[in-house]
Amino acid sequence: MSIRWGLIGASTIAKQYMIAAIRNQPDGEIAAVMSSSPERAAAYAREQGIPAGVSSLPDLLATDIDAVYISTTNELHLEQALAAASAGKHVLCEKPLALTAADARRIVAACKDAGVVLRHGDGPAQCDLYGARDVWVFEDGGKYYMHYDAAGPDAWLAALATSHDLVHWTKHGTVLQLGQPGDGDAKSASYGVTYFDAGVWHMFYLGTPHTTPPPDHIPAFPYLTMKATAARPEGLVEVAQVQISPEELYKK
């Protein structure tokens, strides 16, 4: 099964990160990109090897796509996410989801009503009670794994959900734990990037000893590159979590 994506916004973040991330999935395909400027849409599509470049949201949603990635300016997220949900498209939206909590709840409700993938608040132990963001999806042995940032009562932590069809997901809770006081991940362990190498599963993630006050617990500087390892993709709860030195991070 192929997942055909439409990009809402001919953005730098899509060019630098999301296009490669989608194409690195065995079933990921980018079918169209939308910009309010027809010239930018056409140039962006040509430069990135995307089949279609369009200049309106209705034109994008009318193409043969399954999901949208929204990376436009923040004030446009509400209208665009609601339109995508109404058209039956799965929605992945850059943070912030909306400008107000009420508008964010409207998007969640619309996606839930339309049966598309965008929901938080029902994870084990309230792990994503306040939000979910920064999804990383990969496949192993015919099973799909989603690592995402979950905002729970105590911290932002990397969490896991699994699926067999990329539509119906089962949440398993957090896969990283907070470090001890004074550790680099004492207040947050999130933004994970997972890969398999030499028989071991690895996750690079961002730790921080500082966050804003509760209930937000928003990670704050310094952001420290850290690494977790496990024998199986579900097993990051059993990991060794360590901080990576600059020398190790950048060695050739």
Tell me the three-class secondary structure of the chain, residue by residue.
CCEEEEEECCCHHHHHHHHHHHHCCCCEEEEEEECCCHHHHHHHHHHHCCCEEECCHHHHHCCCCCEEEECCCHHHHHHHHHHHHHCCCEEEECCCCCCCHHHHHHHHHHHHHHCCCCCCCCCHHHCCCCEEEEEEEEEECCEEEEEEEEECCCCEEEEEEEECCCCCCEEEEECCCCCCCCCCCCCEEEEEEEEEECCEEEEEEEEECEECCCCCCCEECCCEEEEEEECCHHHHHHCEEEECCHHHHCCC
Q: How many CB atoms lie within 10 A of CB 177?
A: 15
From the candidate CATH numbers 3.20.20.70, 2.60.40.1180, 3.40.50.720, 3.20.20.10, the one assigned to the domain spanning 3-114: 3.40.50.720
Of the listed ranges 31-45, 145-159, 236-250, the one predicted with least confidence:
236-250
Q: How far is CA 233 from the centre of its chain?
A: 17
Q: Domain residues of the chain, as ranges?
A: 3-114, 124-249
Per-range mean pLDDT, top range of 12-16, 165-169, 220-224, 241-245:
12-16
Condensed to tens digits (0 to 9), the pLDDT of residues 70-113 reads: 999 999 999 999 999 999 899 999 988 999 989 998 998 898 88
CATH topology (fold) of 124-249:
Tachylectin-2; Chain A (2.115.10)
* Of 244 and 95, more confident: 95
Flag whether pLDDT at 22 surpasses 80.
Answer: yes
For residue 241, what pLDDT is reported? 61
Residue in 228, 251, 226, 252 with CA at minimum distance from that of residue 239: 228
Flag whether pLDDT at 248 surpasses 50.
Answer: yes
Query: Diameter of the chain by CA atoms?
Result: 53
Intrachain domains 3-114 and 124-249 with the same fold: no
For residue 51, what pLDDT is reported? 97
* Of 120 and 141, more confident: 141
Q: Which two tokens stand for residue 136?
A: 């990383």
Condensed to tens digits (0 to 9), the pLDDT of residues 185-233 reads: 999 999 988 989 988 888 989 999 999 998 889 899 889 989 888 888 8
For residue 169, what pLDDT is reported? 85
